[in-house]
Amino acid sequence: MLFQQILNGLTIGAVYALVALGYTLAYGILGLINFSHGEIYMMGAFIAFTCISIFNWNIWLSLILAVVICGLIGIVVEIVAFRSIRHGARSSQLISAIGVSIVLQNIAMLTWSSRTQPFPQIITTKIIKINDIVISNLQIYILATAVILMVTLYLLLYKSRIGIAIRATSQDPDTTSLMGINVNKIISITFAVGSVLGAAAGILMGLYYNSIVFNMGYTVGLKAFVAAILGGIGNIPGTMLGGILLGFVESISAGFISSQYKDALAFLIMIIVLLVKPTGIFGTKEVEKV
């Protein structure tokens, strides 16, 4: 029972972690809590659904198209909603993000209706049973995809020149521009990367739960935000662990207490973390040398 819940938690936690990374990337580079990020997750699932179920396109092409389009949506959102108020008040950025969220949700509702849609089952589910533990092949695919994406993100950020530019921009954008780097371009790339991860998470979740709905990004977006806060927003490895941890908490509370309390518990944990260690479990306080 416990191991089963841990496995379930790991699966869902990996998806939370992917979405949470989008929050952390946006926060790291702009100091912005991008509350519209959950909608990118929803868009990823719906675009994949449209390409596969409605247009009957090739599955791989559809999946790639879905994440690429979401990457572009991320770029457009940053340019339209955040660029002009980049140096403005935090509160106006926050309101702008919520506005984008409402707009995207409504676009989705008008395009795909407010009904719950079945997500195409592109993978035939197989169940593997070891003693009492049930593992579906889907869970393994989800975990593997999430791990591959997170490793790729890590390599991009820490082993590539673009990654250096992204990290430099998050520390000191003015000086980064003095290094010959087009900071706007780097911010666009960062939003695209975050959105690609979010869209991939949306597709994985669609596969896992079989169904998608226009407001599915809302709760997951909030949960992923909790995960990011939990691990330390702005901190990449912390965010990954925060997502996994949240997944554990949810599935264990669903298994041992009641599945109706799992959301409440997630937010309760966020409140406790904010009270006890506002920088998150893995976050550190910045000490700048003058």
Partner 1 sequence: MLKVEGLTVKYGNITAVNNISFEVPQGKIIALVGNNGAGKTTTLKTISCLLKSANGKIIFDGNDIIGQQPHKVARQGLVHIPEGRHIFPRLTVKENLTISSFSRTIKFKHFKKEMEEVFEIFPKLKERQKQLAGTLSGGEQQMLAIARGILQKPKLLTLDEPSMGLAPIIVEDVFESITRINKQGTTILLVEQNAQMALSAADFGYVMEVGEIVLNGSGASLLNDPNVKKIYLGEVD
- Distance (Å, whole) CA 229 – CA 274: 8
CB of 116 to partner 1, least distance (A): 44
CB of 287 to partner 1, least distance (A): 8
Instruction: Give, for 174, the enclosing helix (H) or strand (E).
Output: helix 173-178
DSSP string for residues in 214-258 = TTHHHHHHHHHHHHHHHH-TT-HHHHHHHHHHHHHHHHHHHHHT-
- Reference 21, options 248, 162, 227, 164; nearest CA is 227
For the chain, strand residue ranges (E) read: 117-118, 127-130, 133-136, 211-212
Asked if 113 touches partner 1 (CB under 8 A), the answer is no
Instruction: Please select the residue that binds partner 1; options are 48, 165, 227, 228, rule is CB under 8 A.
Output: 165
Nearer to partner 1, 83 or 126 (CB): 83
| Interaction pattern, residues 269-288, with partner 1; x per rule: CB under 8 A | ------------------xx
Instruction: Please select the residue that binds partner 1; options are 2, 88, 137, 172, rule is CB under 8 A.
Output: 172
Nearer to partner 1, 163 or 255 (CB): 163
- What letter represents residue 184's amino acid? N
Contact of 216 with 42, CB cutoff 8 Å? yes
Asked if 89 touches partner 1 (CB under 8 A), the answer is no
Is 80 in a helix, a strand, or coil? helix
Instruction: Please select the residue that binds partner 1; options are 132, 174, 260, 275, rule is CB under 8 A.
Output: 174
Which among 79-87, 122-130, 180-188, 238-246 is the span making contact with partner 1, rule CB under 8 A?
180-188
Instruction: By CB under 8 A, name the binding residues for partner 1.
Output: 161, 164-165, 167-168, 171-172, 174-183, 287-290
